[in-house]
Amino acid sequence: MAQLKRSQGRSSRFMRPLTSDIHFYTAQMDRSPVVVFAAGELVGSGRIAEITENSVKIGDERYLRAVCTFKYAA
Q: Go through 2-20 and write b for each residue having 16 or more CB atoms within 10 A of its CB, e for each that does not.
A: eeeeeeeeeeebeeeebee
Q: Taking the CB of residue 71, how many other CB atoms lie within 10 A of it?
A: 19
pTM: 0.82
CATH topology (fold) of 2-72? SH3 type barrels. (2.30.30)
pLDDT band at 45 (very low <50, low <70, confident <90, very high): very high
pLDDT band at 8 (very low <50, low <70, confident <90, very high): low
54 Cβ partners below 8 Å, 6+ apart? Answer: 64, 65, 66
Q: What is the pLDDT of residues 16-37, one digit of tens each?
A: 999 999 999 999 999 999 999 9
- The fraction of the chain above a pLDDT of 70, given in percent, is 85
Query: How distant is the alpha carbon of residue 58 from its chain centre?
Result: 9
